[in-house]
Chains A and B, each alone.
Chain A
């Protein structure tokens, strides 16, 4: 079993719809949770960063963390074709120099 599971997709939605992405994880010691967006043939770009359980909102993006269920989510409101990309969840224990554990990424297609 992988430490972090993420549905690879593709997830296809019409423009303006809400995109819902999620990851599950097995190690309850993870403390910091991130979502990265990766366009084709580009490096990942940090979108959202949260610590422990709760919600965080930034513009059209909302990240949720439910540590009791070991489940994190990313919602994209009013999706645009420019949101078409692969979204990677990542998490870490939080100690200095600690490495990220990534999910495999979900490919999202927003159709005009």
Chain B
């Protein structure tokens, strides 16, 4: 089945130690998103790629970076994780077409813990 796959499901890192989360998709969608979701809160968009075009949200800290080497894969790099970065990180995709781009398909998320 076509889907959005995130690895790992659970990630533990140390304060200040760089960490990379990965996302892959078999939907062949143009757009890939990274969201941060803290407990009992709405998902917060960090950035998205429309094909190779990177779009950063204005309030996303510089500590968060992303790479999209090809259509299928997208990575979230946290350069120096702080305790406040502990959260669920959700990858999502959409077609990017005007009439249907609003439908996002999410992966199962990576739960990040920072010790």
Contacts and interface: CB of A to CB of B under 8 A. Distances in A.
A98 B109 contact: no
Does more than half of chain A's interface fall in helix, strand or loop, or is it mixed? loop
B108 interface: yes
How many chain A residues sit at the interface, stated as a range, is 20 to 34
Given A32-B102, A49-B103, A96-B101, A44 B90 contact: yes
A95 B107 CA distance: 23
Contacts of B97: 96
B8 to A, nearest CB: 13
B103 A34 contact: yes
Contact of B31 (A41, A97, A104): A97
A8 B41 CA distance: 9
B75 interface: no
Contacts of A44: 43, 90, 104, 106
A107 B42 CA distance: 12
B70 interface: no
Contacts of B106: 36, 43-45
Given A34-B103, A46-B105, A49-B102, A96 B96 contact: yes
B3 to A, nearest CB: 10
Nearest to A95: B98
